[in-house]
Structure 1
Amino acid sequence: MKHGSRGLFCSSTRSCHLSDHDRGNDFAAPEQWIDSAENLQALQQLQRRLASHPHGCPDEATLKWFLRDSDFSADAAEVQLKAMLAWRATNRLFDVRYEDVAEQHRTGKAYLHSYLDKAGRPAVVIRARKHFIGQFPIADSKRLSAYMLDSAVAMLQQQQQQLQQPQQQQQQQEQILWVVDLQGISMRNIDLAFVMFVLQAVPECYPRRVGQVLLVDAPWIFKAPWEAFKPLLRKYAALVRFVSRKELAVEYFTADSLPADFRK
């Protein structure tokens, strides 16, 4: 993974405040972008409306994603984009660079895997046993989380740009796999404040970008925290699957692409 500037304002796909009447298949990637007159008009409307926003207008790829996720409604996308920008501002998550998270990244608690999974998804791997409550300010942990997600989305967008034919682009994977290694954790690794942030950021500010969350080798001490966290996820709990190392290796990766942590 390249350690450089994150050019994306946002890699989220929907508003940071989802309503209760969300569409049926919320977990699938949204309808593909088509350069129709209506869609291009909606894109131009968003660019005009956000041109003078205090935090600037997100890039075109982000605007298109929000339009896709809001059924190509400029009005709905504008509301969602402004909520996302406010969320970024509140948590100081604009233009997070590697040097901003380098110290925490060197602990090895999180990384973007070099290989895709069998479905073609970038994989963000979390080593929960390397996260200790209070070792870093919670604000720093939030920035590392956003950096990982933004890096994975940037990888998706780079892959999309490399495809030449529209048919190839439509078949391109647009979602991320989140792998959380729970082997060897203790209560000092289960950071409630950080988990609450992730529970907001992943399902609400990166919805439909995270296609699945795998909890690997969860020990018995994780049962009680999970029972507390699960209701907060609401329907997004369906994205979560508990798996063993063997299941991860067989179902999600090949022998060559399996992260080294799980080759045991």
Structure 2
Amino acid sequence: MELRLCNPFRHIIPLPSNYSNQITSSSQARSLSVRSSHLGPNESRKLVLEVKEKLEKDHQSLPVGKNGRDDEDFILWFLKDRKFSVQESVEKLHKAIKWRQEFGVSELSQDSVKNIAETGKAYVHDFLDVNGRPVLIVDAAKHFPAVHDPAENEKLCVFLIEKALSALPEGREEILGIFDLRGFGTENSDLKFITFLFDVFYCYYPKRLGQVLFVDAPFIFKPIWQLAKPLLKSYASVVRFCSVETVRKEYFTEATLPAKFRD
């Protein structure tokens, strides 16, 4: 199976010759975009139905049902992400739904990722953080790209994202990612997987990743981060480098703290 990622940062768009004359109109467009993000339920519902109709008309081959072209909650989330632009939402939804179909997201299960999951490299924590967010934990020292099958790593990643999102409490929209970098070495380095992870969130799970903690990053991780950061663009802003003590004090209670951060 070939995975085709949607990299939002790979194109450089040249400025139009009349760019200076478009500043005012661009500002007005941004203002409209901000206003549109606060649409009432009736206006939002109208746009959801419009997107739904366009998907049915132009992309009939896409599946229906949960996370399909007729899933109104799914459509609304992408509308919010695209600031209620119908055309942009249709385009992004088409790519996302097609990717889910090709990747086989609905077919992922605990059994299908059992072997790679048993490495303990990544899992969803049993408790929410203090902000009510499901927590996805990655033990970077257990990730060996030279040994583990990249396709299996990707399946585990997507399975755990789905699992974390299924644990979202009512009214919550984002999850917390924690990369435990204690014991990280050159053999654990995997720039390709880091960009895969953030690319998947941008294209197919927009605005679902609230924050990422890089815990106790060793000196050897710094050059890797310098390479990764430009590729992540705006997503780099959700990353926070912190200590184990910060995780204990700011993100969990004594009862909900992950076992690996207790020592």
Is this a same-fold pair by TM over 0.5? yes
**Residue of structure 2 in register with 1:212 after alignment:** 211
The yes-or-no answer on 1:116 pairing with 2:128 is yes
The yes-or-no answer on 1:138 pairing with 2:129 is no
Task: Please tell me whether the aligned partners of residues 96 and 143 of structure 1 are also in contact (alpha carbons under 8 angstroms).
Answer: yes
- CA–CA distance in 2 between the matches of 1:55 and 1:98? 26
Pairing 1:1-264 to 2, within 5 Å after superposition: 17=8, 34-36=40-42, 38-51=43-56, 52-57=59-64, 58=68, 59-89=71-101, 91-156=103-168, 159-160=169-170, 172-264=171-263
Identity %: 34
- CA–CA distance in 2 between the matches of 1:209 and 1:16? 17
- CA–CA distance in 2 between the matches of 1:144 and 1:32? 36
In structure 2, do the counterparts of structure 1 residues 207 and 43 end up closer, same or farther at CA, with 3 Å as the change threshold?
Answer: closer
In structure 2, do the counterparts of structure 1 residues 150 and 33 end up closer, same or farther at CA, with 3 Å as the change threshold?
Answer: farther
Task: Please tell me whether the aligned partners of residues 122 and 138 of structure 2 are also in contact (alpha carbons under 8 angstroms).
Answer: yes
Q: Which portions of structure 1, spanning 4 or more consecutive aligned residues, are displaced by more than 6 angstroms?
A: 18-21
How far apart are 1:101 and its partner, in Å? 1.1
Task: Please tell me whether the aligned partners of residues 126 and 179 of structure 1 are also in contact (alpha carbons under 8 angstroms).
Answer: yes
- Structure of higher RCO (CA pairs closer than 8 Å, 6+ residues apart): 1
| Counterpart residue type for residue 17 of structure 1 | P
Root-mean-square deviation (CA, aligned residues, Å) is 2.7
How far apart are 1:74 and its partner, in Å? 2.6
In structure 2, stretches of 5+ residues that fail to align are 1-5, 14-25
Return the TM-score normalized by structure 2.
0.78
In structure 1, stretches of 5+ residues that fail to align are 1-14, 25-29, 161-171
Q: Aligned with 2:183: secondary structure?
A: coil
Task: Please tell me whether the aligned partners of residues 198 and 235 of structure 2 are also in contact (alpha carbons under 8 angstroms).
Answer: no
In structure 2, do the counterparts of structure 1 residues 256 and 61 end up closer, same or farther at CA, with 3 Å as the change threshold?
Answer: same
Task: Please tell me whether the aligned partners of residues 134 and 176 of structure 2 are also in contact (alpha carbons under 8 angstroms).
Answer: yes
How far apart are 1:95 and its partner, in Å? 3.7
- CA–CA distance in 1 between the matches of 2:156 and 2:216? 23
Return the TM-score normalized by structure 1.
0.78
Which of the two has higher C-alpha Rg? 2
Task: Please tell me whether the aligned partners of residues 128 and 189 of structure 1 are also in contact (alpha carbons under 8 angstroms).
Answer: yes
Q: Aligned with 2:211: secondary structure?
A: strand
Q: Aligned with 1:75: secondary structure?
A: helix
